[in-house]
Amino acid sequence: MIHGRTVALALAATFAAGCSSGSSVAPAVPQTEQQSVAQYPAASSAARTILANVGSASASRSPRGWDGDGDEDDGGRGELTLPFIEPCGGGTFATRCAAWAFGSSGGGSTRAAGRAVQSVIAGTPPTLNFCRDGVNFPADLGVPATPPQLLGATYSFSLGYVGTHAAPIVTFVTRAWNLNVQGTFTGNATTATLQATPTLTTAASRGWLVFFTWSWPADILLVPYGINEIQLAASSDPLVIPSGGSAQLGAFDCLGRPITARVAGSGFGFKQHLNQTSLTSATNELNVPVFAGSRPNGFVSLRDDRGAQVADPVGPTATPTPAPTPTPHR
């Protein structure tokens, strides 16, 4: 999702600028289907602009394993034609964050879908982080950095448009063959209750829910989702390593696969002399020390052979504020 949820979130700097854009084994289930723009309103000038390149042969691609060149899978973001967008928290981006408001949310099959919706004037972005084996997150890693939703469950949330552009509001999902989204904006409504249900179960993928107003230029909102992505331990996200010291890197694979970790940056590694820059776990749990020199900087890229990936930022600890000297009482 950078908070480390997905590599899509690790590309925050690129997204904010409005630019388009482990293992060497290919994902077990390649996602090669193309989503047709024809199912979206051709009368919308915003849709014609934003979705102009969606589904093109050059843009459509599968989730990739580690290929060593640092080229990350952006979840289909590179197919979109976007102006400048800014981060809005929780991995979301928008042309104007203040134009959108989230309401209540929750997980759990039909109960979530039928839950009463609260006001959309306040709230936080939905956590669309689906993990098949999420209940098996290892206790020795503590708690996951991002609470996972289980596959087979439906996650429900509400969204409101509070900007000044005219409705209707269009909903688009990148890699929609992996995530079923129901309950979109109807007619000229500016509020909606949406339900997201993963359909991918044997591999990992990532993508975006895209909401935008009808006419160009438009107010645009991007919400990330991940399916079976590698789950970082909260204590490792970000990985804060004291200068000349070490910190424990903890991660869990949702599909029971070994995790390959690679250093992307400088001043840190998996041995005290910083001369080991990659390793692969024996099981679906990675729990290893990462050592730092005087100025660690960069991130650790974690991947498996089913297309899962996550980037964990690495940096030194901040200088602690000295505790005040207590004044003795007489």
pLDDT over 60 (residue 55): yes
Q: Are 226 and 151 in contact (CB under 8 A)?
A: no
Look at residues 182, 206, 227 and tell me which one is the last residue of a structural domain.
227
Contact 255, 204 (CB under 8 A): yes
Q: 221-245, pLDDT tens digit by residue?
A: 999 999 999 999 999 999 999 999 9
- Residue of higher predicted confidence among 240 and 61: 240
The Cα–Cα gap between 130 and 178 comes to 11
Which of 227, 261, 279 represents a domain boundary (last residue)?
Answer: 227
What would the DSSP string read from start to end of 32-91?
Answer: -----GGGS-TT-HHHHHHTTTTT-TTT--------SS-----TTGGGS-----EEEETT
Q: Based on the domain organization, do 292 and 275 belong to the same domain? A: yes
Residue that terminates a domain, selected from 181, 199, 227: 227
Asked whether residue 67 falls in the same domain as residue 179, the answer is yes
The reply to whether 57 and 104 lie within a common domain is yes
**Per-residue pLDDT tens digits for 98-130:** 999 998 555 543 323 323 333 333 468 999 999
Show the domain range for 87.
Answer: 7-227
Based on the structure, what is the number of domains in the chain?
2
Please tell me the pTM assigned to this model.
Answer: 0.80
The answer on 288 and 161 residing in a single domain is: no
How far is residue 232's CA from residue 142's CA, in Å, rounded to a whole number? Answer: 10
- Euclidean distance between CA atoms 182 and 192, whole angstroms: 10
